């Protein structure tokens, strides 16, 4: 086989390994390609080993049957017996775990065939699924994620030769880096979702714009405000405010902040009030630059963040969390929540069908437990507490 063809195939394999970190089903393209390149029955990637309380994450690609060939890009169903049985029963018996990092090892290197044939792992797991030869490598990224890559053949197939061992050794550094990228992306996504969830719970709309002022993303609260079209709207993907003067002020503020971002200059945070019709309260709007690294070069990157508060939205303070924070009874937590929504004590007593005397007694108890002495201080305490994240 010409060297150029070998290099081309290897290059494509490496490309798929890196792409796997970005795929919705990770490594759904790389595993079938690795299976074919190594000429094996099954290739498995264990991203999180199973435990008694955790099913783990095991990705499998199985050689299609000739009778009903499955598409090469398909990964095995995680509920297939081979995966579920290994995860639930046989992982604890697997002798081929905790390998020295980045060292290619075959099962026969640590367990002679005669010993394997008499082991429970072979008799109850490998033999029923027709597997015998296994080649593998363990690698880990700096954050602690351990990846275990395994290639399995049938007993009738040849042992793994130097060619397969060398190929696995060559791709291991790339797999380690791809795992690191995957882990960092997952951590960033998890952090983003936590922060986005907190912003949603606080009933604050967040709208992220790129270097041209076009919408990149928005949270559920922001989408609802834009869909209502009362005060704010999108035109050709750009944020606009009803009213020529206030819209001009918005566009100038966005242009100033984005220009400063593109030139690496310091820019100030801008605030606007957006009037609405039909007796609805004005929207409060804050525009601030999105922090970027020195290597950012625009190209549809976040440049400006717009945060919007809508006074008409009910705050989402959790009575349960509020009660746990300040040791309030359910009735006291309910009264504090209603006061924070802007109701007077008389309105609260009416809404709760209790006497004002009872309401005042509950309020006095709340003051004692929270350490405040005035109703305005209580409202501020509730609104600024983490109860709204409950």
Instruction: Render 200-215 in DSSP notation, one character per residue.
Output: HHTTEEEEEEETTSBE
Q: With the CA atoms of 24, 25, 30 and 36 taken in that order, what torsion angle do they form, in degrees rounded to the nearest 10?
A: -140
- The C-alpha angle 292, 295, 301, rounded to 5 degrees, equals 50
Question: Which residues are within 8 A (CB) of 109 and not within 5 positions of it... i.e. 6 or more apart?
Answer: none
Name the architecture of domain 3-189.
Answer: 2-Layer Sandwich (3.30)
pLDDT at 196: 66
Which pLDDT does position 68 carry in this prediction? 46
102 touches 137 (CB < 8 A): yes
**Would you say 35 and 61 are in contact if contact means Cβ atoms under 8 Å apart?**
yes
Q: What is the mean pLDDT of each run of 10 residues along the chain (390 residues)?
A: 65 95 92 94 83 73 66 58 53 77 94 90 85 93 89 92 96 96 86 67 80 86 85 89 89 87 75 80 85 59 82 67 88 86 84 89 92 87 69
Q: How high is the pLDDT of residue 1?
A: 44
pLDDT the model gives residue 299 = 57
Q: How far is CA 286 from CA 208, 283, 308, in A?
A: 12, 10, 6
CA–CA dist 388, 318 (Å, integer): 6
**Distance of alpha carbon 120 from the chain centroid:** 39
- In which residue ranges of the chain is CATH 3.30.450.80 found? 3-189
* Whole-number pLDDT of residue 129: 83
pTM, rounded to two decimals: 0.67
Q: How many CB atoms lie within 10 A of CB 194?
A: 10
pLDDT of residue 363: 92
389 close to 201: Cβ distance less than 8 angstroms: yes
Domain with CATH 3.30.450.20 in the chain: 202-309
| 3-class DSSP assignment, residue 241 | strand
**252 neighbors 243 (Cβ within 8 angstroms):** no
Instruction: Could you please state the CATH topology (level 3) that the domain comprising 202-309 is classified under.
Output: Beta-Lactamase (3.30.450)
- Judge contact between 289 and 267, C-beta under 8 A: yes
- Parts of the chain belonging to CATH 1.10.10.10: 319-389
pLDDT for 71: 47
Domain 319-389, second-level architecture:
Orthogonal Bundle (1.10)
Element (H, E) at 239: strand 238-241
CA distances from 356 to 174, 319, 329 (A): 71, 21, 18
């Amino acid at each position: 086989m010409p060297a150029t063809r070998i290099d081309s195939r290897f290059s494509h394999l490496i490309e798929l390994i890196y792409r796997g970190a970005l795929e919705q089903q990770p490594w759904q393209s790389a595993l079938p390609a690795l299976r074919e390149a190594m000429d094996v029955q099954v290739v498995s990637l264990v991203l999180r080993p199973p435990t008694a309380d955790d099913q783990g994450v095991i990705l499998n690609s199985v050689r299609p049957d000739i009778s009903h060939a499955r598409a090469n890009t398909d990964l095995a169903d995680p509920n297939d017996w081979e995966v579920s049985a290994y995860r639930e029963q046989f992982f604890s018996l697997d002798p081929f775990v905790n390998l020295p990092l980045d060292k290619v090892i075959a099962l026969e290197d640590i367990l002679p065939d005669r010993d394997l044939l008499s082991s429970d792992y072979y008799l109850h797991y490998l033999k029923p699924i027709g597997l015998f030869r296994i080649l593998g490598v363990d690698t880990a990224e700096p954050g602690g994620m351990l990846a275990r890559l395994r290639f399995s053949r049938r007993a009738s197939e040849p042992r793994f030769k130097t060619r397969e061992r060398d190929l696995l050794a060559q791709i291991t550094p790339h797999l380690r880096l791809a795992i690191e990228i995957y882990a960092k992306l997952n951590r960033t996504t998890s952090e983003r979702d936590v922060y986005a969830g907190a912003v949603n719970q606080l009933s604050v709309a967040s709208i992220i714009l790129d270097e041209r002022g076009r919408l990149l993303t928005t949270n559920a609260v922001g989408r609802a405000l834009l869909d209502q079209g009362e005060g704010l709207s999108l035109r050709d993907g750009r944020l606009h405010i009803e009213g020529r003067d206030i819209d001009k002020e918005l566009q100038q503020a966005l242009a100033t902040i984005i220009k400063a971002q593109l030139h690496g200059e310091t820019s100030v945070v801008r605030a606007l009030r957006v009037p609405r019709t039909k007796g609805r309260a004005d929207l409060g709007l804050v525009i601030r630059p999105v922090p970027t690294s020195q290597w950012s070069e625009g190209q549809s990157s976040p440049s400006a963040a717009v945060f919007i508060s809508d006074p008409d939205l009910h705050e989402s303070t959790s009575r349960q969390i509020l009660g746990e924070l300040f040791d309030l009874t359910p009735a006291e937590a309910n009264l504090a929540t209603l006061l924070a929504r802007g109701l007077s004590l008389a309105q609260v007593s009416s809404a709760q069908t209790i006497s004002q005397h009872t309401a005042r007694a509950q309020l006095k108890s709340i003051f004692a437990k929270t350490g405040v002495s005035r109703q305005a201080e209580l409202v501020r305490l509730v609104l600024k507490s983490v109860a709204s994240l409950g």
